[in-house]
Amino acid sequence: MTTQISDVGLTDEVPTPASAGSKLGSAFAMFRNGKSIVGLAILGFFVVIAIFAPQIAPYPATQINAQARLQPPSAEFWLGTTHLGEDVFSQLIWGTRGVMVVGILATIIAVSIAITVGVVAGYTTGWKSESLSALANVFLVIPGIPLIIVVASLFEDPPLWVIATVLGVTGWAWGARVLRAQTMSLRNRDFVQAAKANGEPLHRIIAVEMLPNLMGLIAASVVGTMTAAVISLTTLSFIGVIPVSNYNWGTILNWASSQGAFQQNQWWWYLPPGLCIAAIGVALSLLNFGIDEYVNPRLRSAGERARAMKKRGMDVNTTVTQVRSVPVPEESKRENTPSSDEKG
C-alpha cells in the first residue's frame, strides 16, 4: 500500500528577506516628503557652491580694487563692493565653503559621539551605563562658546577643523541623552531579545537591530547639530572671536558692521550673507519638520489625510466636513416610494 503525500501548502509563497536596497530605502523614507526634499535641495545647492567655489567666484575673496570702492551691484560686481573694493559676491561664495566645512564636520563629530555613547549607554546596564550617562551630563553643561574663545586665543589663525572639532565635542551630549532613552525602551523588545538569545555580538545587535529603529532620532540630531554649528560659527565670526582671515558669512557681517554699512544703508554688503544664513536655517527647519512628520504617527497621518484631501479638491483648512450628494437611481426611488395601498 503506497502512501501519497499531499503537497497542499507546499506551494505557498515563502516570504523572501528584504533586499539591502529596500532596507536602505525604508531607512531614508523620512526624506521623501515635500518638506524634506525642499530642505535637501537648498542644502545641496550650498554644498555645490562650497565645492566649486574657485570656479564660481569671479575674484579672490581678498582682491582689492581701489577704483571700485563701495560700488552698488552692477554687471561687473553682482553684489557690489566693500570699502576696499573687494567683490562681495566672491566673498559670499568663498564664505559658503567655510560655513559648510564647519557645519558638516562638526555634525559628523557630534553625531558619531552621540550615537556611540547614547546607544551603548542605553543598551548596557550597571556601571557602564551610569558612567556613560554621567559623561553625557558633564558635557551637557560645558559651555561651548567660551571654550571656543579660549581655543581660538591659542591660535593666531585657527584652522576650520579646530573650530569644527570644538563645536562637535561640545555639541553631542543632548543627542546622546535622547538616543539613550530610546535605546532603553528598545533593548527589551522581542526582536532584540531574540538576537541576544541567538548569541549575536553586541556590535551586530546595535548596528542591525537597533540603529534602523533610531534613524528618525539620528536624523533629527543631525539637523539640530548642524543648525547649532552654523549659528555658532557665524555668531563667533560676527563678534570678532574668529579671525577675519577665515572667511565666512559672519566675517562679512563683521566687516560690514565695523565699517558702518548698516548706518549708511549699504544693503548689498550685509543683506546677502544674512539671507544666506536665513536660507540655511529654513532648509534645516524644513528637514526637521519633514523628519518629525515621518517619526510622529499623528503628524504622518494628518499629512497623508491633507494630501488626500488636496487630490480630491477639498479644502484642508475647513473645519466643516464636506458631504457629497450621490444621485439616487430612479428604480431605487420607485422601490422606496409607498404605494397607494400602503398609504391607505
Q: What is the mean pLDDT of residues 255-271?
A: 87
Q: Does the pLDDT value for residue 109 go beyond 90?
A: yes
- Give the pLDDT confidence score for residue 206 in this predicted structure: 83
**Can you tell me the mean pLDDT for 151-172?**
84
Chain center to CA of 258: 33
pLDDT confidence of 297, banded at 50, 70, 90? low
pLDDT digits (tens, 9 = 90+) for 68-99: 888 888 888 888 899 888 899 999 999 999 89
In the prediction, which pLDDT does 123 show? 87
Output the pLDDT for position 10. 39
In angstroms, the Cα distances linking 196 to 116, 188, 199, 234 are 19, 10, 5, 47
* Per-residue confidence (pLDDT) for residue 246, from 0 to 100: 74
Whole-number pLDDT of residue 20: 45
- Cell representation of residue 335: 422601490
Asked if 70 contacts 81 with a C-beta cutoff of 8 angstroms, the reply is yes
Percent of the chain with pLDDT over 70: 76
Cα(52)–Cα(261) distance, integer angstroms: 29
Contacts of 189 (CB under 8 A, 6+ apart): none
- Quick one: pLDDT at residue 340? 52
What is residue 279's predicted lDDT score, i.e. its pLDDT?
Answer: 94
At 16 the pLDDT is 44
Q: How confident is the model at residue 104 (pLDDT cuts 50, 70, 90)?
A: very high
Instruction: Tell whether pTM > 0.85.
Output: no
pLDDT of residue 305: 66
Q: 139-148 pLDDT, tens per residue?
A: 888 877 788 8
User: How many CB atoms are located within 10 Å of the residue 83 CB?
Assistant: 16
